[in-house]
């Protein structure tokens, strides 16, 4: 539900932060905004938000610190620690859905990374990068069409076929440029 309206929600939360009467937004606003930045993999904005959250708000709301721990692990690309932080805290209602979605997106990015970067990888490594148990991971790999050898515990990912980027021809680009320049001159 939250993820469907992510752009509107982030705009609303940023506005609430800017228009806070005392200059300090509520901890819920900071928590949701920080979690959404992690969901979007916008680690720079997450870091800047963390730096501008007042120390009193950080100290009175331990959940903010836990969300930031997830961000720190994402920054370091430490998948194992990321999943441990995501699963090791009982998130409040205001951020629980967002944090579940953060976990899903991190897992999907890890799967995409594995399919692009590896021709073979151990099942244990795939499991730690996706935050899944070895059995669930093996089933998920087979479901994706990857070859899994149970005796050697090796996974052979299939590279995801990316759609080729269609480049306009030089003549098309020249035509658009000419059209644009003539528009500017007139």
Let me know the angle formed at the C-alpha of 131 by 107 and 3, rounded to the nearest 5 degrees. 40
Residue-wise pLDDT for 119-152, tens only, equals 999 999 999 999 999 999 999 999 999 999 989 9
Is the pTM for the entire model greater than 0.95?
A: no
What is the structure's pLDDT at 124?
Answer: 94
CA 153 to chain CA centroid, Å, is: 28
Low-confidence ranges of the chain (pLDDT < 70): 1-4, 162-165
What is the structure's pLDDT at 174?
Answer: 82
Residue-wise pLDDT for 58-71, tens only, equals 999 999 999 999 99
Structure token pair of residue 186: 């007139």
What is the structure's pLDDT at 1?
Answer: 47
Per-domain residue ranges of the chain: 2-117, 118-162
What is the structure's pLDDT at 93?
Answer: 92
What is the structure's pLDDT at 100?
Answer: 95
Cα(157)–Cα(137) distance, rounded to whole angstroms? 12
- Please list the residues that pair with 94 across neighbouring strands: none
For 89, phi then psi, to 5°, come to: -135, 145
What is the structure's pLDDT at 3?
Answer: 60
């Amino acid at each position: 539900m939250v993820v469907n309206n992510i752009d509107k929600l982030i705009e609303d939360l940023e506005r609430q932060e800017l228009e806070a009467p005392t200059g300090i937004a509520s901890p819920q606003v900071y928590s949701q905004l920080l979690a959404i930045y992690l969901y979007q993999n916008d680690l720079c904005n997450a870091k800047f938000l963390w730096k501008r959250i007042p120390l009193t708000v950080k100290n009175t709301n331990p959940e903010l610190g836990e969300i930031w721990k997830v961000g720190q692990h994402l920054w370091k690309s430490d998948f194992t620690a990321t999943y441990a932080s995501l699963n090791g805290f009982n998130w409040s209602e205001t951020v629980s859905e967002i944090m579940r979605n953060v976990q899903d997106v991190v897992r999907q990015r890890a799967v995409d990374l594995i399919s692009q970067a590896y021709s073979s990888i151990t099942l244990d490594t795939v499991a730690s990068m996706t935050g899944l148990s070895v059995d669930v991971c093996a089933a998920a790999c087979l479901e994706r069409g990857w070859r899994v050898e149970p005796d050697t515990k090796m996974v052979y990912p299939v590279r995801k076929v990316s759609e080729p980027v269609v480049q306009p021809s030089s003549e098309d680009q020249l035509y658009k440029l000419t059209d644009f320049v003539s528009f500017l001159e007139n």
